[in-house]
Structure formats: structure tokens, C-alpha cells
Amino acid sequence: MTDHFQVKMTEKNYEADRPKAENPVKIMDLTLRDGHQSLFATRGRTEDMIPVAEMMDNIGFWAVEVWGGATFDTTHRFLNEDPWERLRTMKRYFKKTPLSMLLRAQNLVGYRNYPDDVAKAFVQRTAENGMDVFRTFDALNDFRNFETVVKEIKAADKHFQGCICYTLTEPRMGGEIYNLEFYLNKAKELENMGADTICIKDMAGLLSPYDAFELVKALKETVKPPIHLHSHFTSGMSPMTHLKAIEAGVDIIDTCMCPYAYRTSHAAIEPLVVTLYGTSRDTGFSVKALDEINQKLEADILPKYKHLLDDSKVSIIDTNVLLHQTPGGMLSNLVNQLREMDALDRINEVYDLLPKVRKDLGQVPLVTPTSQIVGIQTVNNVLFDDENESYKMTTQQVKDLCYGLYGKTAAPINPEVQKKVLKGYPRGEEPITCRPAEILEPELEKAKEDVKDLAVDLDDVLIYAIYPTTGKKFLKYKYGLEEPPESVKPKTLEQAKKEEDLVRKARAGQVVAKKKPEDEEGLRKFTVMVDDEPFEVSVEDKNPPVVAQVAQQTAQPSQAQQPMQQQAPVRQQPAASPAPPSQPAPKEKAAEEKPEPKPSPAAASADGTPIKAPMPGTVIRFEKKIGDAVNEGDTVVILEAMKMENSLTATTAGTLKSIHFKEGDSVAKNDVICTIG
């Protein structure tokens, strides 16, 4: 325990009448962003935040995080809400407490690097719409990706919080890369960039209590800006980590209101308040006032979201984090991917190979999107490599990473792997060393032109610029040009309770599987999944809400409920120009279910070398046309599987003779996609 921290129990050590601490721990509340993003798939609606906003405003939080991360995506995509309106509304209700957002640096609130013109406009508009604190991070900790946004944050006179993504290669802080020195150097970089505060962003819950103590203590001795700790609960360590960080002098801690706490979210505020009663770091908060908010949340709000909670396991801790130092969401993605390829029995090989692949790829932090990039490449290596050749099948994202499109990796990328992966890469075989956005063409003017008949202001244009497909759709709903589907409409507390009842009955085996015509008047047919068994359910209701989704998600928790931060899909193409037609989306489980793959075309012609699908997936595009000359090793077709693009290459030289699938078609494993003759 340091000199700064004192447990001085006062005589009147109770709620209402305790002395103010000399240096209270400041608290940022994450309930309305990371809390519902981690536990409830970011589905919280503005109307469900308003009832508690003013109560929360009175607590005394340092800031409340209410925006950014996945909220920009889910509001417009799944909730038919204008993300900008969410921000303005929160600003109206939080009169005293600063608002905070999570900004993915040059990725803004999307999943690829946007060009500088879009990044500037986005930060300017966000500041003008009421944002106060810009918590900024980059998946590679390459702070060159901060340059453009930070300039704008500063120009708008707003708070720039610089994050360091906390990651490990060993069970505890240390090793060759992610040791104390690494974090101190990163903090100095941020201080030099003008960071108002510095955040240790521990998205996987890896930071152990004693490492937190050592790290925070050293940071306090090394840099001036206040230190902020963001440590997810996932592994179960975070309450202990918080306490040790407080003893070491951390300035600000992130927590959630208790109904939004624990599991993959954050520790709750209430136990921390009581823990610090009467100490030199007492928060000064009223537990009674916090509890009033909790009661309101439990009674009026949470019934609408409970079904989104992953309750597939009794345990609220993910021990895989402790075993493998990898984010929980990443591992469940790997399991899903192997299952899809009928190779779940090889999971241990994947665990064993993962550290090597991560090392080959520059020891990147394991955070979205890099966690998926490393994970899926590892699976590919386990399944497709042989003793003669490794990295036989690489994803587009691995190529982009090797080219430098995400930024600079913590350690150099294995040059042999880099060379092999970049063979025939369209942007060039020589990796870039500049700031990635420097090679991106401006996009804002084109975006303005694209939606000039639809967008009323720059905010509208930015929704489209960041999310072209779903953004455009949203703008059509917004201006009444298209009727939004039932699934995006809010539901009432009554509806929520009715659904809960239905699911409970289904689970108890009281739901009769009965086929009804879908168009029968007044009846809506749903498939309810109970323990992986599909149940057809008919509901007599003129306006049935999203029972199908609800039921599926309740019965079949899937990656759809993992925190977006960890599982957010990664069809990331930082520099793909033009932007990919559909932004990588946190897809609903339902949307992920692929259509039945078509039967293989009756065997490929006998004379030719087939290119077969090594795994089930979707044909994204062909890089060659029929009649094109093909060299051995040339990429012929791009197959998307598990939201990653995989290049299928020619194993022989020749001419592309036949193509058996169109772009967009689903293929089964071993389907012959095309033939080289």
C-alpha cells in the first residue's frame, strides 16, 4: 500500500454523513455504452436511457460513456434510431456530467480505416453535437492512427483521452514486448501528443491486480496526465485489479450500474463505493441514490433486454482468458469456425499454434479486429498447411496487415510470411511504412454526391459515408421513403413480458410445434429454438415483436452476444477502395445463417485442375475471368468464410476454363468453384 492510500475509518462511517475524501477516486459510468454493448448486444434504446439519465446525472460521475463503439452502428442498423439524435438527447439529459465516447481512431465508429476527410468531419460533427471526452484507441497501438482525429479533438477544445490497448504474450505483464517499459513508452507518446488523460484499456480482462499496481504506480511516476483504468470483468480479476490500482494511485476507474455489470462487462459501482467508505479515496457517492437507479432499471428497462443476455453458462467468468490470455469472444469465434468446418476436434492444435501465428504477424494486441485476424489465420494454418508449406491459405485481412494498412505492429512481421502473403497483392508487394490513411483517397465529396437527394445535412452524409449500405437504408426510413421493418421497432414492456412468457413455455416443453401457413390472417409463425431444437411457434398478435430473434438468442447464445469489441466482424478492408459494398456488420444470428449451399455442379470437367472450396462460405469475387491466363499461386477467387475473405489460389498454371458459381453464391466444402485447364 502506498502512502497515498489510507484506510481511515471515521466514527460516522455511514452513507449520509461521511467526510469528503482528500483525493476521491473518480468514476466513469459505462452503463449506456460498454455496459449494454457487452451484455445486451448494444441494443439499448434512447427511450430506455432517458428514464435514468437525470438520476445518473446527479451521482457525481467524472463522465458517462454513452456513445461510440458499436452504438453508431446498432442505432441506425437495428433500432432505426439516428445515432446523432441519441447523442443530442443524452446531452439534454446529462446537464452536469460530461459525455464520453469510444473512438476507434482512424476507424472512427466503423470497422475500417476511413480517409482523413471523413475522419475530420466526423470528429467536428461529434464535438458540435455535444461530445466532451473522446476516448481514442487503435487496435495496433499505432498512434499515427490518432493524428488526424486528435488534431480535430484539440481544435474543438475537447478532452482527448489516449488509450493503450493492454495485451499480453505471457500469463502476466512482461516478456519481450508487452512489459512495463512498453506501456510506459506508449504513455509518454500519448503525453507528447497532448493527451488530457491516459487510459489503460484492458478489453479482455487480462490485467491482474499486482500488475495493475506496478503499472499504475510506474505510470504515475512517469507521466503527468491522470491515469484511467478500463478493465473488463471477463476473467473475474477486475474488482481486485481496481482495488490494487486505487492503492497505486489510479485517478479514474470505469464501472457499470450493477444490472449492467459483470460477465463480459465491467465490475459494478456499488460494491466499490462501499469498499472505499471512509478511506482517503472515498468516491463520495450515495449507494442509496445508485440503488434507486438500479430499481428503476430492473423494473422498467431490463425486462426488455434480458433475453439478449448470454445465460448459456452458469459461470459468469470466462476461465479461457486466464488459460490462454485471449479475449473470450475470440475463442468462441474460433470454436464456431471449427464447428462450421467439421473440425472441432482440432481446437487444441489451434490453441497450440496461436502464439506462433501471432508472433509471425507482429505480436499484435488481441482486440477487434486483430484478434479475429490472428484467430482465423491460425485456423486456416491448422486446417490447410502441410509439412512442405505454411500459410497456404491467407485471408485478405492478413495481407492488408502485412502490407501495413492497419499500421505498424508491435514487433516486426516475420519477413518470410510477409513476402509470401504479399505475392501478387494488388497494392504492391512492398509493404508501406507511412501512416496508413496517407494512401487513402478522400471519400467525403463522393459520399455527399451519392446521397444528395437523401441527406439533409452533414450528419446524414456521415452515416452514409461510414455505413454505406445500412446507412442509406436508415436515411430512407428517416425521411419516410421506405417503411422500416417490424424488427427495428421498439417494443413495450408488456410485449417483452409476453415474449419472456413464450420462451419460458417453450423451454418447459409447452410449446406445440405446429405448422401454420405464414400468411394466415393474424398469425405470425416463428421458429423458436429450445436447446438447439427448432420449434415452430404461431403467435396470434397483430404486432408481434421480434420473437424469432428473441427466442433464438435466448436459446442459442452465440457470438452475436459477445461484446462487439471482441467479436465485431472483421470484413475490415482498411483501404479497399471503393469501400466494400456492405460494411462488416455485427450480424444477427439469423442473418448469419447461410442459405443452403447449392448442390455441387456435377463434378468439374474431367480435364482440368479444380479449385475447390476448402470450407463452406460465400463467393465474394473472381480475380480472373474465363479465358484468363493463370500462373501458379495467382489468386483466382475470394471466398468469404466466418466474415473473413480468403484468397483461393491456383495450384497450377494454365487458363481459367470454367466457373461454376456466381459472386454471392454460397458454396459447401469441396464444391468445385472453377477449373483451370
Chain residues that interact with Co ion, rule: CB under 5 A: 34
Distance of closest approach, residue 38 Cβ to Co ion, in angstroms: 7
Residue 538's DSSP bridge partners are: 525
Distance of closest approach, residue 232 Cβ to Co ion, in angstroms: 6
Q: 3-class SS at 378? A: helix
- Angle (nearest 5°) at CA 172 between 213 and 39: 80
Inter-residue contact 567 to 370 (CB < 8 Å): no
User: Which residue lies nearest Co ion, judged by its C-beta?
Assistant: 34
From the list 349, 426, 415, the residue with the least C-alpha distance to 380 is: 349
| Nearer residue to Co ion within complex by CB, 61 or 474 | 61
| Nearer residue to Co ion within complex by CB, 332 or 635 | 332
| Nearer residue to Co ion within complex by CB, 231 or 396 | 231
| Nearer residue to Co ion within complex by CB, 253 or 648 | 253
Copy the grid coordinates of residue 184. 510506459
| Nearer residue to Co ion within complex by CB, 31 or 378 | 31
Distance of closest approach, residue 52 Cβ to Co ion, in angstroms: 20
What is the enclosing helix (H) or strand (E) of 67? Answer: strand 63-68
Residue the block writes with cell 452502428: 73
Q: Is the torsion defined by CA of 560, 516, 594, 466 positive or negative?
A: negative
Distance of closest approach, residue 509 Cβ to Co ion, in angstroms: 38
| Nearer residue to Co ion within complex by CB, 34 or 116 | 34
| Nearer residue to Co ion within complex by CB, 100 or 208 | 100
- DSSP track, 269-285: HHHHHHHTTTBTT----
Distance of closest approach, residue 365 Cβ to Co ion, in angstroms: 13
Measured between alpha carbons, how far is 2 from 21 in angstroms, rounded to an integer? 16
H helices, E strands: number in the chain: 24, 18
Angstrom distances, CA of residue 38 to CA of 25, 132, 533, 588? 24, 23, 27, 15
Measured between alpha carbons, how far is 539 from 664 in angstroms, rounded to an integer? 34
Distance of closest approach, residue 657 Cβ to Co ion, in angstroms: 50
| Nearer residue to Co ion within complex by CB, 35 or 557 | 35
Copy the grid coordinates of residue 334. 474460433
Distance of closest approach, residue 139 Cβ to Co ion, in angstroms: 13
Distance of closest approach, residue 458 Cβ to Co ion, in angstroms: 29
Residue 617's DSSP bridge partners are: 667
| Nearer residue to Co ion within complex by CB, 203 or 667 | 203
Distance of closest approach, residue 265 Cβ to Co ion, in angstroms: 8
Copy the grid coordinates of residue 526. 416463428
| Nearer residue to Co ion within complex by CB, 316 or 590 | 316
Inter-residue contact 36 to 78 (CB < 8 Å): no
Distance of closest approach, residue 376 Cβ to Co ion, in angstroms: 22
Residues 6+ apart with CB under 8 A from 275: 243
Distance of closest approach, residue 421 Cβ to Co ion, in angstroms: 30
| Nearer residue to Co ion within complex by CB, 34 or 82 | 34
Copy the grid coordinates of residue 11. 466514527
Measured between alpha carbons, how far is 115 from 112 in angstroms, rounded to an integer? 10
335 CB-side CA count, 13 A: 9
* Phi-psi sector, 9: left (phi>0), alpha (psi -120 to 50), beta: beta
Give the chain's end-to-end CA distance (angstroms, integer).
73
Inter-residue contact 192 to 160 (CB < 8 Å): no
Distance of closest approach, residue 34 Cβ to Co ion, in angstroms: 4
| Nearer residue to Co ion within complex by CB, 70 or 630 | 70
Measured between alpha carbons, how far is 603 from 598 in angstroms, rounded to an integer? 13
